[in-house]
Amino acid sequence: MLLKVGSVSRDDKDVKCLIGGIVSARCMLDIYVIPEKPVCEPLQFTQNGAMIYLRCTADRVYPKARCIFNTQKSAQVGQVQVTHRPSSRHPGDKEVTCELRMPVRSYAAGDYYFRVAVQADVPHLSPDDFVQGDNISLQLNEVALESHIGNEVFEVEEGNDLTRKIRITGNPPPNRFSFMMQPSKDSNSLNVIDSDYTLSYSSGSLQLEL
């Protein structure tokens, strides 16, 4: 016997087959809605550039959704936190938020992409049923010193200030470094203490002013 239910609604979870007014079979249906395409915010670096953070949302979710993130090298990456809240556009449905956190040290310098995929959280769905988001590009660069001051000699009258701007680039922006100066070629190098310089960030680079 083949049972076909047309135009299934959310009230059709419990299906009973009756013969002569007596229930002869009963089954439970997993009713779900295919989520809308997920949309992601710009990728961020957190914890002073140590972690990659990506936040994506998908609307029209029922009953709930599961999320995965993948790259060109891995089917699933990072720690994913999934939260739901009522949809503001689709009454009775939910909006899912998927948050990815992963350490930058897991990746060498290079070009990468991340992509989120969402599907209804019900049993027996195929991997083909995931709704894919767009690729989110990430370029990781090694730290580089663009304004090179190595082996430079400055003559400054005693008591005067010396100002020198240094541009250090990298993605994520560098946040740890040490700086030394040598008063003369015959003297020992001295560490520059925090109070002797100022820092500013701009477009993924760090500028140091002595």
Per-residue pLDDT of 1-23, as tens digits, reads: 566 666 777 777 766 676 677 76
Over residues 178-196, the mean pLDDT reads 54
Query: Which residue among 139, 169, 191 closes a domain?
Result: 139
> 161 and 89 share a domain?
no
Q: Is residue 123 part of a domain?
A: yes
Residue numbers of the domain that contains 133:
39-139
Report the DSSP pairing between strands 22-28 and 14-19: antiparallel
Question: Does the pLDDT at position 177 exceed 80?
Answer: no
Mean of all residue pLDDT scores within the chain:
77
Burial 51-60 (b: 16+ CB within 10 A, else e): bbebbbbbbb
> 89 and 170 share a domain?
no
CA gap 113, 128 in Å, rounded: 20
Q: Which two tokens stand for residue 37?
A: 């395409």
CA gap 120, 192 in Å, rounded: 56
Cβ neighbours of 71 (radius 10 Å)? 18
> 126 and 166 share a domain?
no
> 198 and 127 share a domain?
no
Q: Structurally, how many domains does the chain consist of?
A: 2
pLDDT tens-digit map of 121-160 = 998 899 889 999 999 998 888 766 665 555 566 666 766 6
Percent share of the chain, pLDDT over 70: 59
> 184 and 121 share a domain?
no
CA gap 27, 12 in Å, rounded: 10
Q: What is the pLDDT of residue 165?
A: 65
CA gap 120, 197 in Å, rounded: 53
